[in-house]
Amino acid sequence: MVTASAQLKGRSFTRVADWSASELERVLDLADELKEQQKRREPHHLLPGRTLGMIFQKPSTRTRVSFEVGIAQLGGTGLYLSAGDLQLGRGETLKDTAMVLSRYLDAIMIRTFAQADVEELARNASIPVINGLTDSSHPCQALADVLTIRERLGRLEGVTVTYLGDGNNVCASLMVAAAKLGMNFRAATPSGYEPSSEAVEIAREAAAESGATVELLADPREAAAGADVLYTDVWTSMGQEEERERRLRELAGFGIDQELLDVAGTSAIVLHCLPAHYGEEIAEDVLYGPQSAVWDEAENRLHAQKALMALVIS
C-alpha cells in the first residue's frame, strides 16, 4: 500500500502560490499512484476514520462529488455543510467557526466567494483548510490540470499552455502552477479580461526561477500557434449572470473551435474545467474530439484531491 509523507501534514492549501514546485510534484506523484490503485480496485485507506467537512457557499458538481468520493476511498467520511446549515449564515464569525470545526473534523474544504474568507478560516483552524474555489483562485483545479498535462504529454517542463477567454480564478491558479513547474504560459484575453496583476506578478517571479515564461496576449491565433495545450473556461461564472450578454459580445472570437485547434497543431490537447457552454467558449465537436483530454481532466480532480488530502490530513 502507498504511504503518504509526513512532510506536508497539517498544511492548508488555500492557493497554489504558497506551495513550492517540489510540494506540488509530491501531490502529482501520489495522485499517479492512487489512480493506478483505484484502477486495480486495490484498497488505499490512507485516512481511516478521518472526517472532512465540506462547506459550500457556492454550488458544485465536480467539487462535491470528487471530494466526497475521494475521502470515502481513503477510508474516511465526508460531511456536506451548506451555507444555510451553518451558523455562518446567521452571523457567526469565521474565526469561531474555524475553532469549533477544528474540534470535530480532521480537515475543512470550503467553496466560497472571497479568498480572504478562506485565508481567515485557515489562520484560525488547527486543522488543514483546502480551497475548493473562490472568486480569485481554484487551486484544486490547477492540480488536476497539471496532472492531466503530465499524463498526456509525459512531461511538464517546457510545455506551452495557452489559456483563452476570461482571465478568471481558473486562469490565475493554472498560470501560477504552470510557472512554478516550468511550463510556458500564455493568456489570450480581450482588454479588461486579463488575469489579476497579483497573479501575473507571482507567476512571473516563479517563472524566473523555473526558466519558464508568462505572456499576456490579445490575439487568440498568435497565442495558439505552437501551443501544446489549449485551455478555456466558461465566460460567465457564478454571480456574473447579469453580465452575460456583454460578456458574450466582448469575448467573441476567444473560443476554442476546430480552426483555432488547427493553428496549435494535431499534437495539442484541449482542456476545459467544465461546465461547458457549446458555441461560446468551446465547440462541442472539439470537446468530444480526439484531441480533448477534458474527461481525463475531470476524473483527475478525484485523484489529485485524494493525494492532497492524504498528504495534509494527520
User: Annotated catalytic sites, by residue?
Assistant: 111, 138, 141, 233, 273, 301
Neighbours of 96 (CB within 10 A): 12
- Torsional class of 255: left (φ above 0), alpha (ψ -120 to 50), beta (otherwise): beta
Question: Whole-angstrom distance between the N-terminal and C-terminal Cα of the chain?
Answer: 17
Helix locations, the chain, DSSP H: 21-39, 62-73, 94-104, 115-124, 139-153, 169-180, 197-210, 220-224, 244-251, 258-264, 284-287, 294-312
Reduce the DSSP state of residue 59 to 3 states and report it.
Answer: coil
Q: What is the distance between the alpha carbons of residues 136 and 143, in angstroms, rounded to a whole number?
A: 16
Question: What one-character-per-residue DSSP string does 10-23 give?
Answer: T--BS-GGGS-HHH
